Each structure stands twice: as structure tokens, then as C-alpha cells.
């Protein structure tokens, strides 16, 4: 990230010096027209509604103007793109784009009846032949249809015969409203700025400079992703897009007509959090300090991470789990958070299941939970058993209701039914009572009908002996 930070800072300073040399005064966001009534907006948490990004230079402010700044992306991809850009600049050779994602703006291209790549092919071929530079956020006009480069890797370069093109995804809209939050850094100074300062010193100058910088580049943002923004003094802050209108699209364009809101992140901070490593993932060949060598570096690299109880993450091959926290979350690490990391977790299926499957598991009868979590019945190891349990909870490997109804069903205590020595349903762990509906599986094991039906919808085998019920019923 250091390379891209330097590039962004240099771009900001150069743009600022150019504007000062031309004597262009940036308009104040509070004085711009159309600030809007925050009470009429769904973004009621933002006390600093901002005016559209209108520049004093009216000849340079249009919806098709834009930016040489990178669109929000994964940190590793941005770092790789920046490194390649620097290497290409140093060698004097144009940087080659490995892959590029292009989407249409609005529905017109899709309504034409032609594949997107076919509409783009002539313009992309021309750009490749003439070695025209392409960058993230660039507008591409083809056959009266407008497209935008959602992401290019590297961020700035030329197309080649080896470039991979991606055109799948919903068409892009121009956002009417966007709400940002400024993410707090628990290792930085205590945030005291008024939200209006965040807008006037960071958001407005950043996007206005992009809109005024060069024709053909736009501000492409994605709801849920973050962008690092510098102010005129070179100070940086991370901003996250948390909402946008129209809300039917996650990816959109911020232009001069977009209304922007900004506020500080209001996510609560943990008072205490206990994060424990899994014993089987710890290194055994050398000594280590679990906090200073693993947990602290991970949290430092992920300063804005939201965590909840039972969340898991991996750093340098060591897997961790949040075993408890106050409050329960989602919350974030703060300056006053006490972090505990004592102890180790031994691998178990319950510990390895993601939170959403643990939630499903908690609603099942206790005996069914025990059967699902039993790893001794299989010798395939935790990985295979984990995959099987996930599929069983997702109901992807069980019997159909038609097949289940073919399994013998009777009332406990009725004459004419031979039973085993069982007196207890091994799924719900309750004793059989006279008159209760039960099912006798072909392997002679008996269960409550409601209990075993739930099991058979998830698994084709007997919960006890693992005999294949599907094969026995349908005789194949």
C-alpha cells in the first residue's frame, strides 16, 4: 500500500499546485447550492449533508469527467497494480493490463439484443492497436452505448492480446446519493473532527479533483468497500461506502450531481474480547509469542475489522476464533479494548462450523446435534466430516419426502410390529411412550417419526449404523 499511497499523495499535491497556479478557487461545499434537507434523506445518521460536487470551472464539470485515482479494491490487488505501474514507468515501457472488468451504464446496452463483448469489441480493438491507456473508472463509448471500467489490473495500462475481459454483472447506475463513514483507527489519535470537516477537507476535494482532472474518467464506488483519501496536508483517512441510492445496485458512479453524506463510524468498540488459536494450527518447530507474533500484526493490518462472537480468521497459517466478547458484536477493536488470547482450542466440528451453520444447528434437537457433531463414526478426518455436515445442514444429500414416506411408520406399542431392544430415540434422547409415531428403518433401528424424518431429509444413512436407507427402500 505504500506505493499507492505515495502515488495518490503526489497526485494530490500536483493537482493542488496546478490549481493554485491557475488561480482557481475551490468552491466551499457549505456554500454550494442544493445542500438538501437531511431530514428528507434516509441517511438520518449523517449530520453533514453535502452539496453536489460542483466545480467553479463549469467547463470542466460533467458526468463524463473523472479520475486517474484507483477505484476501491482489495489491498493486495492495489499494491500489485501500483508496483507494476512503478516498474513500467521506470523502464519506459507501457504497463500491460492483465484483466479488466467493464460494465454498461444503464440498461440500454443490454436492451440492444447484442452481447456486451460484441458491442465493446471494435472500441477495445482500436484501443489495443493504438495502445491507448486504459484505467479504472474510464468511460468507454461504443455504438452509442456507454460503458465504464469497473476495475483494471494493474490500475493504469494498455490492453494486449493477453488481456482477460470480464463483462458479467448488473449494469451500473449513477448514484443520486451516497453515504460514507470515516473509519476510526484504534492506533491513531482520538478522532475529534466535526463531520463537516471530513467533508470539506477530504471527501469534497478528493472527488471534485477527480471530476475536474481529466475527461473520460469517473468515480466508481462499491457499497461496502473502502477508499483511502488524503487531505492537502498529506494526512490520510479511510472512508467506507455504507449506503447509496438507487439502492438496487452495489456498484455505481459518483458524478457532479451526486449528493454525498459523511459521518464518523458509530460501530461500538469492544470492552473485552477473547481470541484463542486452534491448537493444531500452531507452529511446532520454533518458539513464538501468540500475541506479538500473530494476533497483534493481524489486528494492526485489519484496523477496521468488525468482529462478533464465534467469528474465525487465519493469519500466517494460524487459525483463531473469537470465543467471547463484550458487547457481543458486531463491534470493533478500540483504544480501550482489553484483548485476551490465553488458552488453545482443540479442533472440533462445532468450533470449525461458520456462525450461520451454528445457528442452524442450535435449532435442532440435542440428539440430532450430537449425531451431526460425531466425528468418530467416520475415519476421513475433520475436513471431510466438516464438508459432510455442511451439506447435511444445507439439506443437499438427504432423501425426498416420497422416499421417506416409504419407510415403515407405526405407533409405539402397537401389535404386529417387531422392535429391537430400543426404549429410547437416539435423536431426541427421549424414552418412547405408548402411542407415539415412530419409524422402523430397514436396519431395524427405531426412532420418533418426526426426529428421523428431519435426519433423513439431510442424510441417506441410519444415524446409528450408517446403513444406506435410500438403497434399502428403493432396492437399487
For residue 156, how far is the Cα from the chain centroid? 24
Least confident of 40-49, 234-243, 267-276: 40-49
Phi/psi of residue 278, each to 5°?
-80, 130
Least confident of 62-66, 73-77, 112-116, 471-475: 62-66
Cα-trace Rg, the chain: 30
359 contacts 345 by C-beta, under 8 angstroms: no
136 contacts 71 by C-beta, under 8 angstroms: yes
Q: What percent of the chain has pLDDT over 70?
A: 66
The CB-based long-range contact list for 76-79 (8 Å cut-off, 24+ gap) reads: 77/153, 78/1, 78/4, 78/155, 79/1, 79/3, 79/4
Task: Please give the helix or strand (H or E) that residue 275 lies within, else none.
Answer: strand 272-277
pLDDT at 285 over 50: yes
Least confident of 12-16, 218-222, 227-231, 378-382: 378-382
- Name the β-bridge partners of 96: 158
From residue 346, alpha-carbon distances to 277, 310, 321, 366 in Å are 9, 15, 11, 22
Task: Supply 198's cell numbers.
Answer: 471530513
Q: Is the Cα dihedral 372, 375, 380, 381 positive or negative?
A: positive
Q: Beta strand pairing status for 251-254 and 173-174?
A: parallel
Least confident of 28-32, 316-320, 366-370: 28-32
Predicted pLDDT of residue 158: 92
418-466 pLDDT, tens digit per residue, is: 556 788 888 887 888 888 999 999 888 999 888 888 788 878 888 888 8
What domains sit in the chain, N to C, each tagged with a CATH number?
Answer: 1-265 (no CATH), 272-347 (3.10.330.10), 368-378+392-474 (3.30.40.10)
Task: Supply 316's cell numbers.
Answer: 500466517
231-258 pLDDT, tens digit per residue, is: 888 888 889 999 999 988 889 998 888 8
Phi/psi of residue 323, each to 5°?
-85, -30
Burial of 197 (0-12, 13-18, 19+ CB in 10 A): middle
Task: Please give the helix or strand (H or E) that residue 116 lies within, else none.
Answer: helix 116-129
141-175 pLDDT, tens digit per residue, is: 888 899 999 999 988 899 998 999 999 999 999 99
- Rounded mean pLDDT of 352-357? 68
Number of H helices, E strands in the chain: 13, 25
Residue with cell 476464533: 321
294 three-state secondary structure: helix
Is the model more confident about 361 or about 276?
276
Q: What is the value of pTM for the model shown? A: 0.55
Contacts of 22 (CB under 8 A, 6+ apart): none
Predicted pLDDT of residue 453: 87
From residue 342, alpha-carbon distances to 79, 224, 339 in Å are 34, 33, 10
- Rounded mean pLDDT of 282-295? 91
- Name the β-bridge partners of 180: 241, 262
Amino acid at each position: 500500500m505504500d506505493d499507492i499511497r505515495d502515488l495518490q499523495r503526489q497526485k494530490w499535491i500536483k493537482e493542488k499546485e496546478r490549481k493554485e497556479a491557475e488561480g482557481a478557487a475551490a468552491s466551499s461545499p457549505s456554500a454550494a447550492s442544493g445542500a438538501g434537507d437531511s431530514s428528507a434523506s434516509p441517511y438520518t445518521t449523517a449530520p453533514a449533508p453535502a452539496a453536489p460536487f460542483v466545480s467553479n470551472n463549469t467547463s470542466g464539470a460533467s458526468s463524463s469527467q473523472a479520475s486517474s485515482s484507483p477505484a476501491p479494491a482489495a489491498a493486495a490487488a492495489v499494491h500489485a497494480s501500483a508496483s507494476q505501474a512503478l516498474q513500467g514507468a521506470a523502464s519506459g515501457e507501457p504497463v500491460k493490463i492483465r484483466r479488466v472488468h467493464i460494465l454498461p451504464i444503464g440498461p440500454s446496452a443490454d436492451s440492444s439484443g447484442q452481447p456486451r463483448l460484441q458491442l465493446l469489441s471494435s472500441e477495445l480493438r482500436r484501443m489495443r492497436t493504438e495502445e491507448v491507456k486504459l484505467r479504472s473508472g474510464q468511460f468507454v463509448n461504443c455504438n452509442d452505448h456507454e460503458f465504464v471500467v469497473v476495475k483494471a489490473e494493474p490500475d493504469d495500462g494498455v490492453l494486449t492480446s493477453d488481456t482477460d475481459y470480464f463483462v458479467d454483472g448488473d449494469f451500473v447506475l449513477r448514484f443520486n446519493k451516497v453515504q460514507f463513514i470515516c473509519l476510526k483507527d484504534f492506533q491513531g489519535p482520538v478522532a475529534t473532527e466535526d463531520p463537516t470537516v471530513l467533508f470539506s477537507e477530504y471527501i469534497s476535494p478528493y472527488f471534485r479533483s477527480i471530476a475536474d482532472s481529466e475527461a473520460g474518467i469517473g468515480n466508481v464506488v462499491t457499497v461496502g468497500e473502502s477508499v483511502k483519501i488524503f487531505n492537502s496536508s498529506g494526512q490520510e483517512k479511510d472512508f467506507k461506502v455504507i449506503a447509496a441510492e438507487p439502492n438496487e445496485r452495489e456498484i455505481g458512479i459518483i458524478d457532479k450531481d451526486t449528493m454525498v453524506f459523511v459521518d464518523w463510524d458509530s460501530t461500538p468498540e469492544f470492552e473485552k474480547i477473547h481470541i484463542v488459536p486452534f491448537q493444531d494450527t500452531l507452529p511446532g518447530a520454533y518458539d513464538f509469542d501468540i500475541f506479538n507474533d500473530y494476533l497483534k500484526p493481524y489486528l494492526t493490518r485489519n484496523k477496521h475489522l468488525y468482529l462478533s462472537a464465534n467469528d474465525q480468521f487465519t493469519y500466517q497459517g494460524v487459525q483463531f476464533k473469537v470465543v467471547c466478547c463484550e458487547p457481543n458484536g458486531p463491534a470493533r477493536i478500540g483504544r480501550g479494548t482489553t484483548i485476551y488470547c490465553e488458552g488453545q482450542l482443540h479442533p472440533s466440528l462445532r468450533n470449525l462450523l461458520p456462525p450461520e451453520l451454528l445457528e442452524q444447528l442450535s435449532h435442532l434437537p440435542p440428539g440430532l446435534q450430537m449425531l451431526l457433531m460425531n466425528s468418530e463414526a467416520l475415519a476421513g478426518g475433520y475436513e471431510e466430516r466438516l464438508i459432510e455436515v455442511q451439506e447435511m445442514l444445507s439439506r443437499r444429500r438427504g432423501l425426498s419426502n416420497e422416499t421417506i414416506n416409504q419407510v415403515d411408520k407405526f405407533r409405539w406399542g402397537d401389535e404386529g410390529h417387531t422392535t429391537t431392544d430400543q426404549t429410547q430415540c437416539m435423536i431426541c434422547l427421549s424414552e418412547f411412550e405408548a402411542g407415539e409415531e415412530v419409524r422402523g428403518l430397514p436396519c431395524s433401528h427405531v426412532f420418533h417419526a418426526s426426529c428421523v424424518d428431519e435426519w433423513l431429509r439431510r442424510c441417506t444413512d441410519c444415524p446409528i449404523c450408517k446403513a444406506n436407507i435410500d438403497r434399502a427402500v428403493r432396492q437399487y
